[in-house]
Structure 1
Amino acid sequence: ALAEIMHSDLSSLVLELANWGVTELDEIQWMDTPPSSASEQAKTLLQQLNAIDDKGKISPHGRDMLMLGTHPRLAHMMLSSVDINQAYHACLIASLLTEKDIFLANADKSADIHDRLNALKQLPEQTQSYKNNQHGIDSKQCKRISQTADDFFKRLKRCSATTISKETLDNNFSGVLLAYAYPDRIAKKRKGNDARYLLSNGKGAVIPPYLQQHAHEYIVVANLDARQGEACIYLAADIDAEQLQEYFIDNIQQKEKVEWNEGGQRVEVKQTSSIGELILQESIINNSDNKEAVQQCLIQAIKNNGIDCLNWTPKADVLKQRVQFINHHFENAPALNKQYGANELPDFSDEALTNTLEEWLQPHLNKENSLKQCAKLELYSLLLNQLSWEQQQSIKKLAPERIDVPSGSAVSIDYSDPVQPILAVRLQEVFGLYDTPTVLDGHCKLMMHLLSPARHPMQVTQDLNSFWQTTYHDVKKDLRGKYKRHYWPDDPFTAQATSKTKKNMNR
């Protein structure tokens, strides 16, 4: 079996060692060296309780805590209670938490510590009924707890610089006292669920069904058992937001939180007041100065949604495709790559553009905080900015956006397939063109989609010369029947190319 020190709470041990001047556990020879994680957790807690400083040295408050002879959490609670005139109240709570529960095992009980405190307050009046174990309360245990509380109170008197006396218990302060002891277990009810809470340490916990008799928005958890997966809350006290603001103002952090609102498709900046992981208050800031964080959040949202969520104009799309066409062919043709140096072109694939949004898009963001506002960005210009003048000239030469055909038209080239670009052109506009046009400085023939006057595909070829000599004559017969007003010559090699009807050719 594991030695107890391997799985125990080390805060009492670390405080004792600090009192001896030992600030690191590895300064001592152990039979079983305690886990460093447990040691660090203990130090963090003791610093929260003001028992040691950031170097691990004990504070005067820490020495007073040792005089009370109990767990540092409870000792800190009792010492802090003097300032709010709740000293005996704190001693009773400390006693309740160190002794066995006053409720019998089969009793109807809740997770509310006030039930125990009220029972102890009524002890003198209910001696006989408690003696008979009525109300499910163990009378002997009540007396034992009262005696332990009296002992704590005597010790507290001895180490307190202020004269204290037993006050009338005020249950409104139970949560405050527990929060002194358990600053990491202040909890807020999750939305839509009365039983589940988020703790200030970031962990979740639930009140078991048989103990669910209250559902306060804020509670402080005194007894927590996480051994069965989801942490169970067995004992707690309520505390309200006003008390947190009044008594734990030093624990409250003011932060600016930048987050993505999925419903509104926009970045929201919120001013938050929080204790640990618990948000007490938050409000939206409409004009935040934290532009970089807003931009980073927006960039991440674009990545999550994919760059298709941006406003890609046809012109921007074509530029992407032309660059990717060149990159593809030069990657697979080392000789061409060496000749033209096209490896210098950036990667304009969707994946690469997504991964480099910080480089090509973020510097041009100003006050944009939503996808709707990003739609106004001129992506073509932003991509062009990534290319030097020399690179732009190479792209114009190797992958021209348009090509002039014999009719005089400048016809767009479709580079959507990086392997094989397409020239879709009306057949009659390329009369007189002997060979298939090329790109990539003559190294890549275009796939020609020859169209009817109504732009319906009639033939697909990468060998225009062969088409004129063979298939054209069959296609011509079909076109003459369907498009009688248009010019369909017998000799396409010498015929005048045109985009007009026969009637309008000479106008």
Structure 2
Amino acid sequence: MSLPIESVLDPLVNALKYNRCVVLKAPPGAGKTTGVPPAILRHCVSPAFPKGQIWVIQPRRLAARSVASWLARTCGESVGETYGYHVRLDRKESKATRVLSMTTGMFLRRMQSDPMLEGVACVVFDEFHERTLDIDVAFALTTRLRQELRPELRLVIMSATLDPQPILDYLNCPSADADPAAPSDAVTEAIGSEWIGSEAIGLECEGRSYPVEVTYHPGNARDRLENRMLGGIQSAWQQTDGHVLAFLPGVGEIERAIRSIQGSPIASQAAVMPLHGSLSPKAQDAVLTHTDGQRKIIVATNIAETSVTVPGVTAVVDSGLAKTSVMDSRLGLSRLEITPISIASADQRAGRAGRTSAGACVRIWDQAANRSRLPYDAPEISRSDLSDVVLMLASLGETDLAAIGWLTPPPEHAIKAAQDLLQQLEALDANGSITDRGRAMAGLPLHPRIACFVIEAVTVANFSKREVAIAAALLSERDPFSTAGNQQSRLSLVEKIQRVQQDRGNANSRNPVSLGTIRSVAKQIERAIGDLPVSPVEGSDPSSRPDASPLERWAGALLAAYPDRVVLRRDDDPDRGRMVGGRGVMGLSAFDETATPSPLMLCIDVDGAGKESRVRSAVPIDPTQLNPHAVQEMVSVEFDVASESVRGRLVRSYVDLVLKQTPASAKDSEEASTCLYEAAKRCLADPELLGKITPPTRAGSEDSMAAIMERVRRVVAAENEGKPADVDDSLAADGISKDPLKDVLRQLCQGRLSFAELRKAPWKDYLIGQIGYDRWQDIQREAPTHLLLPSGNRAAVHYVTDKPPWIEAKIQECFGWQKTPRILMGRVAVQLHLLGPNRRPQQITEDLESFWANTYGEIRKELRRRYPKHYWPEDPTTAKATHNGLKPR
């Protein structure tokens, strides 16, 4: 049967012949996945085409296997001959294999051992629109390899819903620069004149015109998802006579939907089959090859969204949801979120119904909701854990990830979080270069944490490679011992290993992961372990105690891999605790191994959602197992507001997790001095609070810190001809701090722990020392604390911010003064508060001469009548002042 893709195969092959990259957009059913690789294979015999295999990169294992198997059957061969595949746990390849389908993860692993891709002629990225993390990394490395070292390597990017323009722009297409060599007529005719001078060309073909009728069946929004899906499935079942493909976000939703279908009348008419990535390859293939004539209802995740064609599907029921993993780099935790799919993904799913004939698509959402959906799915690189990628790139000598030409650059904070984790695991050194341990970890087909665990369990805890491989498989795969009601079983790791070895599985028939899957994964890990001549992490030796139990040794190995997942349980609620990093966790009690719960737990699997993370897997650990290099003891200080003093505590902590606190002396501690200073300095800015930390004085006393500083500022202002704005700069020019009190306070806090001790401190002496002795003499002279009155008495000079300096004196004490006294280099008149015998002001003036001449006579009459014993001369400018105000004898 002719396929739409055939219309673009000639220009595609011609573009590859003349070494142009190709970006191909072809809708579902066009035949790109099964049409393009054979076309390239037929034409790669050309002398212009490099020798080597054609690698077809698929984002999913099911697609890689099924495509290779289908192409092999069309040639009448067994898979593994001309067409082969290589996926995790499964490989069909021989010396005769020319076209090899593989997952992006396997492509990156093979690139680690062969960075130059020797023996590869062409790389085809299929379903590029999925933009998984591995796809972005593989694409960046392949394009750079082609640009810098292997310009002859051919490259094809394919997708059904891809927006090709960003890819073409990334590949510098079209380019403003002409080719170095003038193109021949043959080249122009082969690739089209519009692509001359470009690195890549864009091609697009039309799909087969099988219409798909899309309807919206949102149902009652309050109903559970499986019930709303059942309504859509029943509707789709009636609309067509083929198989029904239903899309749900995850395995749990699939299980609930299947139970809902099996409880409905439609169950007797259909074979209900799940399809998701946790199923064994045999179970997945059974869904694709089930041909007993009975109609099927296939309930799948987005594994069936692309590349895989389920024969006979004429109806799609779409929940419009998918599960995505989001990494919170602040917490170091990933969380699964159910999110709406993009419009492109919805169109891709609907296209599954029109592969072979007209079909129907029922969407379980309201049509108006389409307006809020994104046009395309966000690249996974923007939200994922990057530790695996950072380690893999480090093994290739890449330490500067920002220098890699990313199609979508990863967030800097995610790169930093991955590098920090790998340094904790001792896979990277302080410069970001890979260590020997890191190389051993990168050589294992495991996440860096689990790879670190494997190395520790083999080299330090002395477990057999078989046991370690089983443990690693259990940590990597879905829990085979979970029940339908639990996402995680409560068996310990030791019990699970024993059950796998004894072939005692779970009675739950719905569990998608069998012990056979775990054993298959374990065999591959055991082969990969090989010899591990790697020294253990310094300070981590759980097997050093001869009485250590297997559980303690496993816990020690896990601790090396999850050093940031240690949790201290709460005394008042042992089910809850605080994890390194400050995150609260819950659900710890389910993992207690003994009657006396351990205060420390290691959380292997934690859900990052919610205010408190729910623990899905944990083991108890002993404090002695903590890496001593990460355990610190220090005196911690804090200011107690009630006692106005610094309190010290001896704190024992692991990373930032406080394990134990006891009272301790903070005397002579720099931290205590800083703590007291930070608490006390807020009092400097508030005159009402200043007395809390400075020596007690009378109100307005010349010895108060506020008065002394006001005198300093008045002198500086006078020297600057009365410009207060220049005071701070002038202080600095004199070598005096702009805020001497702060400097004095900082000095006085040394060796002291409370406000009470500060109040007893010699503030004035320290302040004079801060100002300098010579400068202090200037201040004493120009801003005196007292003035000598004509009576012989001394009057205190008051200095208050934003007021003129002033004194209080009885009128009789000022007789003989003809003019107002002046200070501050004679530039400032002292304000006189002239008092009557009752010590109440009778006049406030800064012009004493005018007062004597104009006002004194009137005041004299009244005061003379009221106080006849006091002295009231007619001419105060020549009269003798008296110290008590009475008439002189």
Out of 84, 94, 117, which is 2:461 matched to? 84
CA spacing shift, 1:123–1:460, aligned 2, 3 Å: same
CA spacing shift, 1:346–1:185, aligned 2, 3 Å: same
Counterparts of 1:497 and 1:250, CA distance in 2: 81
1:39-188 to 2 correspondences below 5 Å: 39-82=415-458, 83-84=460-461, 94-102=472-480, 107=485, 114=491, 130-131=506-507, 139=511, 141=513, 143=515, 146-147=518-519, 150-151=522-523, 154-155=526-527, 158-159=530-531, 171=551, 175-188=555-568
1:410-489 to 2 correspondences below 5 Å: 410-480=794-864, 482-489=866-873
Cα drift, residue 90 of structure 1: 5.7
- For residues 262-289 of structure 1, give each alpha carbon's deviation from its aligned partner in whole angstroms, at most 9, with x where no partner exists: 4443345555433221122344553666
> Structure 1 stretches of 5 or more lacking a match?
163-167
Counterpart for residue 616 of structure 2: 235
Q: 1:244 and 2:623 equivalent?
A: yes
Q: What is the count of residue pairs matched by the alignment?
A: 481
Counterparts of 2:585 and 2:725, CA distance in 1: 64
- Give the letter aligned to residue 301 of structure 1: A
Counterpart for residue 676 of structure 2: 298
Cα drift, residue 25 of structure 1: 3.9
Cα drift, residue 68 of structure 1: 4.0
Counterparts of 1:69 and 1:177, CA distance in 2: 18
SS in 1 for 2:771: coil
Conserved? CA contact 2:480–2:514, under 8 Å? yes
Q: 1:266 and 2:648 equivalent?
A: no
Cα drift, residue 411 of structure 1: 0.5
Counterpart for residue 209 of structure 2: none
Counterparts of 2:856 and 2:684, CA distance in 1: 45
SS in 2 for 1:493: coil
- Give the letter aligned to residue 186 of structure 1: V
Counterparts of 1:219 and 1:145, CA distance in 2: 29
- Give the letter aligned to residue 49 of structure 1: L
CA spacing shift, 1:426–1:7, aligned 2, 3 Å: same
Out of 311, 321, 325, which is 2:694 matched to? 311
Out of 701, 716, 719, which is 1:327 matched to? 716
Counterparts of 1:142 and 1:398, CA distance in 2: 94
Counterpart for residue 603 of structure 2: 221
SS in 2 for 1:219: strand
Cα drift, residue 75 of structure 1: 1.7
CA spacing shift, 1:396–1:285, aligned 2, 3 Å: same
Conserved? CA contact 1:316–1:379, under 8 Å? no
Conserved? CA contact 1:324–1:418, under 8 Å? no
Conserved? CA contact 1:260–1:267, under 8 Å? yes
- For residues 380-416 of structure 1, give each alpha carbon's deviation from its aligned partner in whole angstroms, at most 9, with x where no partner exists: 2222223344433432333221111111101111111
Cα drift, residue 453 of structure 1: 2.8
Cα drift, residue 183 of structure 1: 0.8
Cα drift, residue 248 of structure 1: 2.2
- Give the letter aligned to residue 79 of structure 1: I
Counterpart for residue 279 of structure 1: 658
SS in 2 for 1:455: coil
Indicate the larger mover: 366-375 or 493-502. 493-502
CA spacing shift, 1:73–1:323, aligned 2, 3 Å: same
Counterparts of 1:59 and 1:481, CA distance in 2: 102
CA spacing shift, 1:325–1:106, aligned 2, 3 Å: farther
For CA contacts below 8 A with separation 6 or more, give which structure has more relative contact order.
1
- Of structures 1 and 2, the larger Rg is shown by 2
Conserved? CA contact 1:113–1:237, under 8 Å? no
Cα drift, residue 251 of structure 1: 2.8
Out of 767, 789, 792, which is 1:405 matched to? 789
Q: 1:377 and 2:758 equivalent?
A: no
- For residues 14-43 of structure 1, give each alpha carbon's deviation from its aligned partner in whole angstroms, at most 9, with x where no partner exists: 333444444444676554454454344333
Counterparts of 1:400 and 1:213, CA distance in 2: 77
Counterparts of 2:749 and 2:742, CA distance in 1: 11
CA spacing shift, 1:463–1:122, aligned 2, 3 Å: same
- Give the letter aligned to residue 757 of structure 2: Q
CA spacing shift, 1:306–1:90, aligned 2, 3 Å: farther
CA spacing shift, 1:244–1:319, aligned 2, 3 Å: same
- Give the TM-score taking structure 2 as reference length: 0.47
SS in 2 for 1:488: coil
Out of 732, 736, 739, which is 1:353 matched to? 739
Conserved? CA contact 2:483–2:511, under 8 Å? no
CA spacing shift, 1:139–1:29, aligned 2, 3 Å: closer
Indicate the larger mover: 314-323 or 72-81. 314-323
CA spacing shift, 1:158–1:344, aligned 2, 3 Å: closer
SS in 2 for 1:16: helix
SS in 1 for 2:851: helix
Counterparts of 1:213 and 1:342, CA distance in 2: 64
Counterparts of 1:415 and 1:480, CA distance in 2: 33
> Structure 2 stretches of 5 or more lacking a match?
1-376, 535-547
Indicate the larger mover: 188-197 or 275-284. 188-197
Counterparts of 1:392 and 1:55, CA distance in 2: 54
- Give the letter aligned to residue 298 of structure 1: L
- Give the letter aligned to residue 280 of structure 1: L
CA spacing shift, 1:97–1:423, aligned 2, 3 Å: same
- Give the letter aligned to residue 476 of structure 1: R
Conserved? CA contact 2:607–2:616, under 8 Å? no
Conserved? CA contact 2:652–2:658, under 8 Å? yes
Cα drift, residue 9 of structure 1: 2.4
Conserved? CA contact 2:870–2:885, under 8 Å? yes
Counterparts of 1:258 and 1:181, CA distance in 2: 33
Indicate the larger mover: 407-416 or 382-391. 382-391
Counterparts of 1:57 and 1:80, CA distance in 2: 21
Counterparts of 2:443 and 2:851, CA distance in 1: 103
Indicate the larger mover: 63-72 or 315-324. 63-72
Counterpart for residue 165 of structure 1: none
CA spacing shift, 1:77–1:65, aligned 2, 3 Å: same
Cα drift, residue 70 of structure 1: 1.2
Counterparts of 2:681 and 2:725, CA distance in 1: 31
Superposition CA RMSD, Å: 4.4
- Give the letter aligned to residue 742 of structure 2: L
Conserved? CA contact 1:253–1:274, under 8 Å? yes
Counterparts of 1:149 and 1:170, CA distance in 2: 23
Conserved? CA contact 1:273–1:280, under 8 Å? yes
Counterparts of 1:4 and 1:490, CA distance in 2: 99
Counterparts of 1:481 and 1:105, CA distance in 2: 108
SS in 2 for 1:239: strand
SS in 2 for 1:475: helix
Cα drift, residue 74 of structure 1: 0.9
- Give the letter aligned to residue 568 of structure 2: K
Conserved? CA contact 1:187–1:197, under 8 Å? yes
